[in-house]
Amino acid sequence: MTRPRILVVGAGFAGVECVRRLERKLSPDEADVTLVTPFAYQLYLPLLPQVASGVLTPQSIAVSLRRSKKYRTRIIPGGAIGVDLKSKVCVIRTITDQIVDEPYDYIVLAPGSITRTFDIPGLTDHAFGMKTLAEAAYVRDHVISQLDLADASQDPQERASRLQFVVVGGGYAGTETAACLQRLTHAAVKRYPRLDPGLIKWHLIDIAPKLMPELGDKLGSSAQEILRRRGIEISLGTSIAKAGPEEVTFTDGRVIPTRTLIWTAGVVASPLIATLGAETVKGRLAVAPEMNLPGNDGVFALGDSAAVPDLAKGDDGAMCPPTAQHALRQGKHVADNVIAALRGQSMQRYVHKDLGLVVDLGGTDAVSKPLGIELRGLPAQAVARGYHWSALRTNVAKTRVMTNWLLNAVAGDDFVRTGFQTRKAARLKDFEYTDAYLTPEQVREHIEGTGRQD
Ligand SMILES: Cc1cc2nc3c(=O)[nH]c(=O)nc-3n(C[C@H](O)[C@H](O)[C@H](O)COP(=O)(O)OP(=O)(O)OC[C@H]3O[C@@H](n4cnc5c(N)ncnc54)[C@H](O)[C@@H]3O)c2cc1C
């Protein structure tokens, strides 16, 4: 008799937690577990701004998938580009561009999210994202290259435009990115004696009336105060009207000469979800509180790509926010439900009460709200770093991160431009491969073409 096949799509917070739990709780002859992932690591996204600012090396937050002692999962290096629910087949494009059809009995969809963009002229051509390791490494090189080029330039206009930086998105990703990178340029300027520090200007803008509203009024104002004190200009109720290679136009009419536009204005579910042709809520797959897809046996979804009802907030239709905090807990929970389904037991509903938020603004600046307690400065920083450090999955990753933090605290920042990605296309549209996916009709056609039936 063949063993049931469990296919997990995505090796992020949700996917990796799920796989690890399946490996731990299922005996090898109970099921075969396969993981599809384009990368050989789990990316610890919340520390991405620290990679962009050079406090951490990229490898520190790329956590190995092959360190677990119980490791026995088959890993397919590639991305899922379509799922056919009828025939229970996932279509995969491998990293060598081969198309592979992977049949499953149970599928766990955890492909996360991509950067949310709007129809703003020039946006996808000129903005950088902060969602992948490559983007963080690229942004770091780009920011340092602006300092290098401004330093070398004799043209005051060019200097001024290279030394202005715009970050869009006042959530934790954008705020941390602006804060960490501003610290980098502030520290760097001492090593560029020809540059006028007064020319370096960071803008943080958001269409919402507040930065990080989840923090509440008092803590949110503290965060704004810290950023303003550091010289970051915050513009709320403002977005981008137009983006060009050398300037950005704000919706309030201001035209900012800049070569650096970083776009972190929210996320949307992975385009893989649309290939299912199933019901979605704001693009996320609509699932039951058990994280299964009603009417489709053996289909589960979680993390940023799924609209999981947030039962801790009551029965008013709220869905879990797209955070690592939920994704990793959902990963464990979904593994238990897959095992329950496999063994003919009943599945449990997912309930988790939010533990709060930590925001690392670099150095000793931070604001945190663990379990509703408002913290600022060093205590907030200790909670933020302690939380992230303990959430890193392997001891090697923990050691790398801690060593990097200590080194940075003692030796300060470095301003090395690696140049690995020089002259490569590197804007929003180039990093997230959004055009790789099939439509539901193309998935069906592909499956029919292979002669596979329901
Ligand atoms: C800069 C930044 C800071 C953040 N800070 C915080 C924070 O402080 N606290 C917090 O709780 N959350 C934070 N978040 C949000 C958090 O990182 C996400 O909510 C979390 O990563 C979601 O987990 P996930 O498993 O759903 O997706 P991810 O962790 O994004 O994992 C998705 C995985 O799927 C893979 N994948 C994508 N498409 C496919 C495909 N087609 N086929 C196969 N694999 C695929 C990806 O490569 C990735 O490995 C932050 C996010 C960012 C970008």
The string of DSSP codes covering 9-75 is E--SHHHHHHHHHHHHHS-TTT-EEEEEESSSEEE-GGGHHHHHTTSS-GGGGEEESS--TT---EE
Residue 1 confidence (pLDDT): 66
Confidence of residue 69 (pLDDT cuts 50, 70, 90): confident
Residue 432 confidence (pLDDT): 80
CATH topology assigned to domain 5-115+268-354+432-449: FAD/NAD(P)-binding domain (3.50.50)
Judged by average pLDDT, the poorest of 40-49, 172-181, 220-229, 425-434 is 425-434
Query: What is the whole-number distance in angstroms between the Cα of residue 42 and the centre of ligand 1?
Result: 9
Q: Which residues pair with 22 in a beta bridge?
A: none
Please indicate whether residue 65, judged by its CB atom, sits closer than 6 Å to ligand 1: no
Please indicate whether residue 16, judged by its CB atom, sits closer than 6 Å to ligand 1: no
Residue 363 confidence (pLDDT): 87
Please indicate whether residue 212, judged by its CB atom, sits closer than 6 Å to ligand 1: no
Confidence of residue 454 (pLDDT cuts 50, 70, 90): low
Whether 329 has a pLDDT exceeding 90, the answer reads yes
Q: Which atom of ligand 1 is nearest to the CA of 39?
A: 47
Whether 323 has a pLDDT exceeding 70, the answer reads yes
Using CA atoms, how far apart are residues 448 and 445, in angstroms rounded to an integer? 5
Residue 426 confidence (pLDDT): 79
Token duo for residue 114: 């991509």
- What's the one-letter identity of residue 394? T
Using CA atoms, how far apart are residues 404 and 411, in angstroms rounded to an integer? 10
Token duo for residue 335: 């593994």
Closest CA relative to residue 257, chosen from 214, 313, 199, 188: 199
Do the two domains 5-115+268-354+432-449 and 123-265+356-418 of this chain adopt the same fold? yes
Q: What is the model's pTM?
A: 0.95
Out of 114, 276, 323, 389, mutate this one to test ligand 1's pocket (max ligand atoms within 8 Å of CB): namely 323
Report the run of H or E that residue 331 belongs to, with start and end. helix 324-342
DSSP 292: B
The residue contributing the CA closest to ligand 1 atom 15 is 323
Place of tokens 């937690």: 17
Out of 13, 39, 45, 93, mutate this one to test ligand 1's pocket (max ligand atoms within 8 Å of CB): namely 45
Whether 420 has a pLDDT exceeding 90, the answer reads no
User: 127-128 and 89-94: which strand pairing?
Assistant: unpaired
Question: Rounded to 5, what percent of the chain is helix, strand, coil?
Answer: 40, 25, 40
Using CA atoms, how far apart are residues 321 and 357, in angstroms rounded to an integer? 12
CATH number for the domain running over 123-265+356-418: 3.50.50.100
Per-residue exposure over 113-124, b if at least 16 CB sit within 10 Å of its own CB, e if not: bbbebeebebbb
Please indicate whether residue 269, judged by its CB atom, sits closer than 6 Å to ligand 1: no
Residue ranges of domains in the chain: 5-115+268-354+432-449, 123-265+356-418
Residue 427 confidence (pLDDT): 81
Q: Which atom of ligand 1 is nearest to the CA of 131?
A: 53
- What's the one-letter identity of residue 319? M
Residue 434 confidence (pLDDT): 81
Query: What is the whole-number distance in angstroms between the Cα of residue 77 and the centre of ligand 1?
Result: 18
Q: Which atom of ligand 1 is nearest to the CA of 42?
A: 49
Per-residue pLDDT tens for 7-40? 999 999 999 999 999 999 999 999 999 999 999 9
Higher pLDDT, 435 or 332: 332
Per-residue pLDDT tens for 337-395? 999 999 999 999 999 998 989 999 998 999 999 989 999 999 999 999 999 999 999 99
Q: Which atom of ligand 1 is nearest to the CA of 437?
A: 41
Q: Which residues pair with 369 in a beta bridge?
A: 357
Per-residue pLDDT tens for 249-263? 999 999 999 999 999
Secondary structure E strands in 131-171: 164-168
Report the run of H or E that residue 218 belongs to, with start and end. helix 217-229
Per-residue pLDDT tens for 157-190? 999 999 999 999 999 999 999 999 999 999 998 8
How confident is the model over 35-57, as a mean pLDDT?
96
Using CA atoms, how far apart are residues 427 and 432, in angstroms rounded to an integer? 10
Please indicate whether residue 39, judged by its CB atom, sits closer than 6 Å to ligand 1: yes
Per-chain mean pLDDT for the chain: 94
